Amino acid sequence: MLAMLPSLFMRHSIPIYPYVEGETMIDILVLGATGYMGRLITDVLQHHRERPSFSFGIAARSQRKLEQLREELKLDKSTQSFEFDVHNAQQVESVVSQAAIIINTVGPYWNWGTVVVNACVKLGRHYVDLTGEPHWIREIITNYDYIATTKRCAIIPSCGLDSLPSDITAYLANRTLKALAGPEADIDLSSSAIKLDTSISAGSLRTFVSYVEDVPRYIRARMRDQFVLSNVKGVPSPPLRMTYQLPLSNPPVFGAAFVMANSNRAIVQRSWGLHEYDMLRSLNNRTPEKRKLSYGPQFKYEEFLAVASKTTAFVYSMSLLMAAICVFLPPTRWILKQILPFIPDQTSEEHKKRGFIEVTNVTSSVATPTKPPVYVRTVTRGNGEAGYYLSSFMITECALALLLNRNELPELGREGGVLTPTTALGDVLVRRLEETGKFNFHSEVVLGAEENRKTR
């Protein structure tokens, strides 16, 4: 049975809209625009295929660097710039008030993200970011989910490599399963094997250090709960382990423990929980669309890094475990902090083109006495380095979906609250990512050893 969490996770909706057309100066504002990630996002916005349809601005701590960015990227005169210090809540609120949608790249979010979310919720602005910090997202849900629904503003963390590809792959698998097996079909286990050629940045390593040094131990302990971000509890997923194998893979696809697995699973489980709660609160108004979006009470999710063999998987998993232990040891953490300034927060032009991410997911339905399980294979492919380059496209399309496609968004996205990419944006996001030319999605029901039925 599903167990409801405390009332602080209750969701509500009141017909108040986040802003009135004409009240704000610009549509989208990029915070931290002079950092490497902010520069990439600014460049994507400047050259976007729908550029005439929106305005945007850039914000950072240094006006001098903002002017340099303007010159280097040849930003048009309509792009406004704002100087602000994230340490100053009044300045944050002032710049947030200038835009309808905030793209926040200033991390670690545990340290600097809450002040921005607070301003967005207070002023009724939409918000997207790139965090991979579920401990911080939990705090944001606790403190801002309900009030964000009263303002009808969408707060969407994890709109980049953390954790959009995992979230959208599970979403598509469910849609495909329901298309063939019917809206009453429920998911049993959803397994994702991830291949990627990306970069680990100094920013990511600083976030790991911040997690150990700045986050209280009792909050870190919460992260052992698989449903830490979900507003309902369900069936526990398989535990993390040293080796994996993707179901129905021929030749076999082996896997190792993945450094992002916990944070990605937490986002996928929040998507599951939001839909399950929506079903529970709609007992007297349960539409077919709500049932199609629900993954079902037996849903379980796991993901791993695809590697060449079981031996490689074990060695890689052991290495990851040892690296994690080292981060918790003060001497090795001190050494890491000394070398952080020498690790580049960027990727080469060659790597932008050479890199990729590929998520191959196999999802099975819950078997019944009269129906054997149905299997769905879903592949999400991104062409380009995923940690920076592709993430700049992912988060940009999330922001533009909120701006340009509001009437097409799922009901949860229109209600607002602390959401996930798929619960807020759904099919609109899939379509927009495909239109970038950087992503493609393929989902099919596996009917037999040699037969399948493509649905996307």
Which residues 6+ apart lie within 8 Å of 130 measured at CB?
Answer: 37, 104, 105, 107, 158, 159, 160, 161, 162, 391, 395
Backbone phi, psi, residue 116, to 5°: -75, -45
CA distance 63 to 83: 6
CA distance 351 to 84: 32
CATH code (residue 78): 3.40.50.720
Could you give the 3-state DSSP secondary structure of residue 384? coil
> Do 56 and 123 sit in the same domain of this protein?
yes
374 in a domain, yes or no?
yes
Domain boundary residue, one of 109, 125, 156 = 156
Structural domain count of the chain: 2
- CB distance 377 to 361 below 8 Å: yes
Backbone phi, psi, residue 192, to 5°: -120, 130
> Do 90 and 60 sit in the same domain of this protein?
yes
> Do 89 and 21 sit in the same domain of this protein?
yes
**Bridge partners of 307?**
254
> Which of 234, 266, 81 has the alpha carbon at shortest distance from 170?
266
For residue 240, give Cα distances in angstroms to 204, 349, 428: 22, 35, 32
428 in a domain, yes or no?
no
What is Dmax (Cα atoms) for the chain? Answer: 69
CA distance 88 to 104: 15
> Do 146 and 20 sit in the same domain of this protein?
yes
> Do 229 and 135 sit in the same domain of this protein?
no
> Do 339 and 450 sit in the same domain of this protein?
yes
- Decide the pairing of beta strands 187-197 and 300-307: parallel
Domain boundary residue, one of 104, 133, 156 = 156
CA distance 213 to 277: 35
Helix/strand/coil percent split, the chain, to 5: 45, 20, 35
**Tally of CB atoms within 10 A around 61:** 16
Domain extent, residue 109, equals 3-156
107 in a domain, yes or no?
yes
The position carrying tokens 């009437």 is 407
422 in a domain, yes or no?
no
Per-residue pLDDT tens listing for the chain (456 residues): 344 444 344 454 333 334 444 455 899 999 999 999 999 999 999 999 999 999 999 999 999 999 999 999 999 888 999 999 999 999 999 999 999 999 999 999 999 999 999 999 999 999 999 999 999 999 999 999 999 999 999 999 999 999 999 999 999 999 999 998 888 899 999 999 999 987 676 677 788 888 888 999 999 999 999 999 999 999 999 999 999 999 999 899 999 999 999 999 999 999 999 999 988 887 666 677 888 999 999 999 999 999 999 999 999 999 999 988 988 889 988 888 888 777 777 777 778 788 999 999 999 999 988 889 999 999 999 999 999 999 999 999 999 999 999 999 999 999 999 999 999 999 999 999 999 999 999 999 987 544 455 555
407 in a domain, yes or no?
no
Give just the sign of the alpha carbon dihedral 357, 229, 99, 429. Answer: positive
Note the helical H segments in 16-133: 36-46, 63-73, 89-96, 109-112, 114-123
418 in a domain, yes or no?
no
**Bridge partners of 81?**
58
> Which of 27, 43, 110, 79 has the alpha carbon at shortest distance from 392?
43
> Which of 242, 259, 168 has the alpha carbon at shortest distance from 207?
259
CA distance 346 to 238: 35
> Do 147 and 184 sit in the same domain of this protein?
no
Could you give the 3-state DSSP secondary structure of residue 387? helix
322, two tokens? 């040892």
> Do 130 and 188 sit in the same domain of this protein?
no
The position carrying tokens 């660097």 is 65
> Do 214 and 303 sit in the same domain of this protein?
yes
87 in a domain, yes or no?
yes
For residue 406, give Cα distances in angstroms to 17, 403, 424: 12, 6, 10
